[in-house]
Amino acid sequence: MKRRNLGWLLLGSLLSSSVWADMSLNLTKGVTEVSRDVYDLHMLVLYICTVIGVVVFGAMFWSMVFHRKSKGVKPATFHESTKVEILWTTIPVIILIAMAVPATYTLIAMENNDDSDITIQVTGSQWKWHYKYFDQDLEFYSVLATPREQYENQDGSSAEKGEHYLLEVDRPLVIPTNKKVRFVITSDDVIHAWWVPAFAVKQDANPGFINEAWTKVDEPGIYRGQCAELCGKDHGFMPIVVEVKTEADYALWLEEQKQLKANAAAAEAASLTASVSMDELMQLGETTYTAYCASCHQVSGQGLPPAFPALKGSAIATTGPASEHIDIVFNGRAGTGMQGYGKQLSLKEIAAVVTYERNAWGNNTGDAIQAADVKAAVGGEVSDGLKAAATSITEVKTEISEEKPAEDLSKVYSQAELMSMGEQVYMSACAACHQASGEGMAPVFPALKGSAMVTGDVTAHIDMVLNGSKKNPAMAAFGSQLTKTQIAAVVTYERNAWGNNTGDLVQPADVAASAK
Amino acid sequence: MTSNVINEQSTQDAHDDGHHDHKMTGLKRWLYTTNHKDIGSMYLWFSFIMFLTGGVMALVIRAELFQPGLQIVEPDFFNQMTTVHGLIMVFGAIMPAFTGLANWMLPMMVGAPDMALPRLNNWSFWILPFAFAILLSTFFLESGAPNFGWTFYAPLSTTYSNGSTAFFVFAVHIMGISSIMGAINIVVTIMNMRAPGMTYMKMPLFVWTFFITAYLLIAVMPVLAGTVTMVLTDTYFGTSFFDAAGGGDPVMFQHIFWFFGHPEVYIMILPAFGIVSTTIPAFSRKKLFGYSSMVYATASIAFLSFIVWAHHMFTTGMPLFGELFFMYCTMLIAVPTGVKVFNWAATMWRGAISFETPMLFSIAFVILFTIGGFSGLMLAMTPVDFQYHDTYFVVAHFHYVLVTGALFSIFAGAYYWLPKWTGYMYNDTLSKWHFWCSLVSVNLLFFPMHFLGLAGMPRRIPDYALQFADFNKWVSIGGFAFGLSQLIFLVLVIKCIKGGKKAEAKPWDGAEGLEWTVPSPAPYHTFETPPKID
Amino acid sequence: MTNGADKKTLSTQTQQQAADASVKKTVKKLMLMVFAMFGFGFAMVPLYDVFCDITGLNGKTSNVAARYNATSIDRERTITVQFLTRTAKGIPWQFEPMINEVKVHPGERKVVKFYAKNQSANAIVGQAVPSVSPGQAAIYFQKIECFCFNNQPLNASEDVEMGLQFYVDLDLPEDVSTITLSYTLYDITSAVDS
């Protein structure tokens, strides 16, 4: 180590490094009115201290040079002067008041969280940030994006470090310019602190309590910060990135997020029927594990006991029931560092990571967990996100159908056409509740496979899809969300899939007839 | 020192047998000693060992931070290093060093034969090594040592701790008991054992600062004990002092902790004021300027230290009026502290200054401590503190105050009294090397930290963004240089104990005080008959 | 005069005894101070709560029901009250406000509902912990009835709508126009069981 350090030293002093220029020596001015006030205040105090320093140290150095014993001076005998002492008590008081006045004004401005345009709930947890847009139905986690191999250099490996090493995240917080954005800050576990220097915002995230801060940014750009309160092992690895966009770009971004969310939900719904091969599960599991689990449980699965237990050979990941294993991954464990990943990972990812944990490092249980198993294990009911997602799918669908010209209700489709269209519609609009397998999730979401409803009277079936259930509020009316053709297709599909083989073909005209 | 003092002791014994049981030799002598000089020496040696231990941990930190990336240690071990480094330096190095100086010098300065409670004195020293043995033993646990920072904020130290909390709490309890007993001894000695004629306002300023510090200790160490007890019960016995789920509040931890923590900061700096108020007049050959205002300034700093604690917590979400109150009170501390600095400058003014090593360290203290004071004033400004808080700017600030402040004053004191302790003059060249190496390296170590903090580097992180790389490299080089420089001091002290030029009773021509009226080395028993003070 | 080898005389012995007595007295006083301060450390816990109640420090709200005693409704002012929820680690509940924000006049009584559902296969006891921001508004945010006063047991898959009745005090400082109420839901099953 020593030799390498010396090498570095020599190298470093010979070649003035390129990053040198990047670090400003002073506090950032930032991009908000408050941050500029703070900067001015900082400079004011700095100048005052410098002047006092020059005077006091000057007097000391003057004495050291001119009142030296070696010069043969005789020491003076004074050792008191009430006048001088009163003077150098009052002058500092006056200077302090001069400093306190602007500081008070800035502080009052900083603490005025009222009348905000946008509210964002910021939640810290070990070791990531979660952002939730109040009124936007949009929330996501933001985690470090720097690849592990860039910072884990213990074995001497040194992957090239990227430009924003340790200050980059997978999903930055996005806010618009010129809007008062209020942050409501809290924590899920220990105390964190949300700090973006360019906004002069730093607030502790206290578990169980909320704190407020606000900002109003002038310039679009990407601003980076870090967690500023020791929060455990990876305190240094939970950066904050805020992307400030113009209002127009921000609106576009919001739209894009909605679309992305819908896509994700569709993929989630699709994953429920898919039977993923072991290889694929293990592969996805390993990637997910490395990204989300390895910082505590270690790549080797040996953990950092006792705080972070080993998974290799552990009861939970081997002999214990898979459902319990899934539950811990999904919901976390109270009173420990283990958080729930249900809201952070897709069902498929959770399935993959559980599969991986149950088969890696010699845990060879042979269990292959599918997304559907995860859903079954965590209570089987549609999770929050899924329900919201299902709603947004239908929203998207509505938009799409509206774009289409008026549908041709007289058209007659073949069984194959109806079945393939029906399957698509079913997967996006129905499978979230009734499951891709048609087995539903009793009791709220009844099975369609072999059910009386879909094998019995066709008109009642169509009516149910069109108008929803009168008894069960969970069954929504799809009449306004789907086209008549789509309803025809989905009813046909439901009546013929999963061995329901009724052979019924429902055409758009039948649906139109029912709708009247 | 050992052999020398023992020789002295045996000659003393010839005249003075019967009422002191110190005929033991070897280990037993040190285990059973009730002699303030022996105990003082043990405190000083102990604190130096702890200083080196904590220093090694600092070097692990600096080695890891030498370049970006994790090369040497895991993040969790890094946190253990910062935590234990802090605990050891505060409770193991600085505080025992001051207690050691107090033990050695206070009885001689007030003309007392010993501390008022000699057996308690023995006890308060000997529990310390056990406290630190417990603390350090955690490194051998599966969980590792405390990793929640020396400030042990809940719930990181309670619900989310790694299992070392019980050891940590027990160790802190013992340290606290030791400090409290030491403080009681100091107060009782000063109040009851002063030589006839030595009124309070005739006491050396050194005695005054220790007197006030001891009161601070008695007031706040029990609060620390209370805090760690609550942490213990929260962790292991299901109470919820700091857990929102059970109706507690993690922010309350910080209020209670800093109610101890802020006076604690002054516990570590007031004695330093006392030391340089002794050395600067001595080497300026002029009386201390404004003695009584110094006393009042010390007392008012001590008082103010009780009403500024929340300035450590501006970002925890305090109401506006709270932030303003604590900002104003904190800024107010600059006034008495300023008075002190001005008084030292005025003491030097038109003196006849010479630059022996104690004076060099004292001058460095005044200047560098004042720099730490300036950054303290900047930190006091709430709006700007939002930017400085928990960055390297804070790290720079408190290291300027505690290393170039407290530690440099301890060095100044050690060089000043070393001839009195050992009977020999130390090697002057070596001491100058120690000073200049320390001075240069300590500034290389801590000054760039100001810039790192302003540029946005948080404290307590094991790895950092690339723009901080160059400064961290220099800081680390400074750290290693400073660490190595301290070995010069070790060599110097050992050489000085072994021999050298014989020291006179009063080796410094400008020195004043009763301690210089006894021969060098100071006899095992001094002032058995109190001196008369006019 | 400073030689430590001087023999003790009778008079110094009496002096010694007098000194011993005063030493004992001082030690006693100091020990009293130590114990008092140790007690004070613990006394800071209730003191802190009292302080929070008075000042609303940290957004802690009172956990006892307030009595509605507003004399009038100030229709001139409209306050936006926002609701946020958070579930703590390890509690598999869905927990959310049924309405994100409401507008109220100071003095006006308002009822809002929160929805909670136990998504696990076990019975769990939850406890919601409220926090109000800005902190200074906490003492003016009066909860007449709140599900957070008691814990909330839910069986597997059971759900519940939980009510909160509140009003904002007429004395709410002028500069506050938005109040945020956050609930964090904790799993306290083990604490209740034991």
d(CA B494, CA C43): 49
**Residue predicted with more confidence, B442 or A267:** B442
Reported as a pLDDT band with limits 50, 70 and 90, residue B102 is very high
Query: Is position A213 within any domain?
Result: yes
In this prediction, the residues of chain A whose per-residue pLDDT falls under 50 are 1-4, 6-21, 381-405
A261 assigned to some structural domain: no
| Shortest CA distance from A79: residue in chain B | B289
In-domain check, residue A444: yes
Residues A236-284 pLDDT 10s: 999 999 999 999 999 999 999 888 888 888 887 877 777 788 888 888 8
CB A377 within 8 A of CB A322: yes
Q: Are residues A235 and A300 in the same domain?
A: no
Q: Are both A66 and A33 inside the same structural domain?
A: yes
Question: Do residue A175 and residue A221 come from a single domain?
Answer: yes
Same domain assignment for residues A105 and A123: no
Contacting residues of B for A155, CB less than 8 Å apart: none
Chain C touched by A384 (CB under 8 Å)? yes
Are A91 and A134 contained in the same domain? no
In-domain check, residue A364: yes
Residue A201 belongs to a domain with what CATH number? 2.60.40.420
Cβ within 8 Å, pair B142-A163: no
> What's phi and psi for C95, nearest 5 deg?
-145, 115
Please report the pLDDT score of residue B77 as a whole number. 92
Mean pLDDT throughout B297-325?
91
The answer to whether B277 is a known catalytic residue is yes
The pLDDT assigned to B292 comes to: 92
Q: How far does B11 lie from chain C, in Å, by closest CA?
A: 10
Whole-number pLDDT of residue A379:
65
Shortest Cα–Cα distance, A512 to chain C (Å): 36
Same domain membership, residue A131 and residue A48 = no
Q: What percent of chain B has pLDDT over 90?
A: 83
pLDDT at A403: 42
Average pLDDT, chain C: 81
Tell me the shortest Cα–Cα distance from C152 to chain B, in angstroms: 13
Q: Measured in whole angstroms, how far is the alpha carbon of residue A386 from the centre of its chain?
A: 17
Q: Is the pLDDT assigned to residue C1 strictly greater than 50? A: no
CA angle A187, A192, A195 (to 5 degrees): 115
What whole-number percentage of chain B has pLDDT above 70?
Answer: 96
Q: Please give the pLDDT value at position B240.
A: 87
Q: What is the rounded distance in angstroms from the CA atom of residue B393 to the CA atom of residue B401?
A: 12
What's residue A442's pLDDT? 63
pLDDT band at B7 (very low <50, low <70, confident <90, very high): very low
pLDDT value, residue B437: 96
- The predicted structure's pLDDT at residue A393: 40
Q: Say if the Cβ atoms of A186 and C129 lie within 8 Å.
A: no
**Cα–Cα distance between B497 and B6 in angstroms, integer?**
12
pTM: 0.81
pLDDT for the residue numbered A387: 42
| Segments making up each domain of chain B, as ranges | 2-6+28-517
Which residues in chain C are closer than 8 Å to A129, comparing Cβ atoms? Answer: none
> Domain count of chain A?
4
Same domain, A191 and A128: yes
Does A477 touch chain B if contact means CB atoms closer than 8 Å?
A: no
Q: Which residues of B touch A231 (CB under 8 A)?
A: 156
Contacts of A47 (CB under 8 A, 6+ apart): none
Q: Are the Cβ atoms of C57 and B116 closer than 8 angstroms?
A: no
d(CA B457, CA B388): 10
State the CATH number of the domain containing residue A508. Answer: 1.10.760.10
Complex confidence, ipTM = 0.90
Residue B292 a catalytic site member? no
Average pLDDT over residues B393-412: 96
Contact A121 C177 (CB under 8 A): no
Tokens of A497: 């899939």
Question: In CATH, what number is assigned to the domain containing residue A106?
Answer: 1.10.287.90
Measure A189 CA to nearest chain B CA, in Å: 8
Query: Which residue of the set B22, B37, B194, B312 is catalytic?
Result: B312
> Looking at residues B188-213, what average pLDDT do you find?
93
Q: From the CA of A332, how many Å to the nearest CA of chain C? A: 4
Contacts of C20 (CB under 8 A, 6+ apart): none
Q: Is residue C152 predicted with pLDDT exceeding 80?
A: yes
Any domain includes A491:
yes
Q: Which residue has the higher pLDDT, A175 or B24?
A: A175
Contact B160 A337 (CB under 8 A): yes
Taking the C-alpha atoms of residue B482 and residue B490, their distance in angstroms, rounded to an integer, is 13
Peptide bond into B336 cis (omega under 30): no
Cα–Cα nearest to A395, from A266, A282, A252, A291: A266
- Is there a single domain that holds both residue A313 and residue A415? no
Distance of CA A189 to the CA centre of its chain: 15
Does residue A376 lie within any of the structural domains? Answer: no
Residues A122, A96 share a domain: no
For A332, name the nearest residue in chain C, comparing CA atoms only. C90
Same domain for A125 and A101: no
Integer Cα distance of A467 and A482 in angstroms: 11
Q: Which domain holds residue A130?
A: 118-147+166-245
- Taking contacts as CB-CB distances below 8 angstroms, the residues of chain A near C48 are none
With contact defined as 3+ CB pairs under 8 Å, the chains touching A are: B, C
Whether B434 is catalytic is no
Q: Is B36 a catalytic residue?
A: no
Question: How high is the mean pLDDT of chain B?
Answer: 91
Chain A residue with Cα closest to B281: A79
> Between C21 and A5, whose confidence is greater?
C21
pLDDT above 50: residue B17: no
Of the candidates B36, B194, B262, B286, the residue annotated as catalytic is: B262
Range with the lowest mean pLDDT among A345-354, B415-424, B426-435? Answer: A345-354
> Is-contact A173 A185, C-beta < 8 A?
no
> What part of A 297-356 touches C (C-beta under 8 Å)?
327, 330-336, 338-340, 342
- The per-residue pLDDT for A20 is 44
**pLDDT of amino acid B335:** 94
Active site (annotated) includes residue B114: yes
Whether A169 contacts A142, CB under 8 Å: yes
Over range B272-281, report the average pLDDT: 96
A113 at the C interface (CB within 8 A)?
A: yes
Looking at the domain covering B2-6+28-517, what would its CATH class be? Answer: mainly alpha
The verdict on whether B426 is a catalytic residue reads: no
Predicted pLDDT at C8: 47
User: How far apart (Å, rounded) are the C-alpha atoms in residues B338 and B377?
Assistant: 11
The reply to whether A240 and A124 lie within a common domain is: yes
* Between B511 and A394, residue with greater pLDDT: B511
Predicted pLDDT of residue B352: 93
Q: Look at residue B330 and tell me whether its pLDDT is greater than 80.
A: yes
pLDDT at res. B187: 95
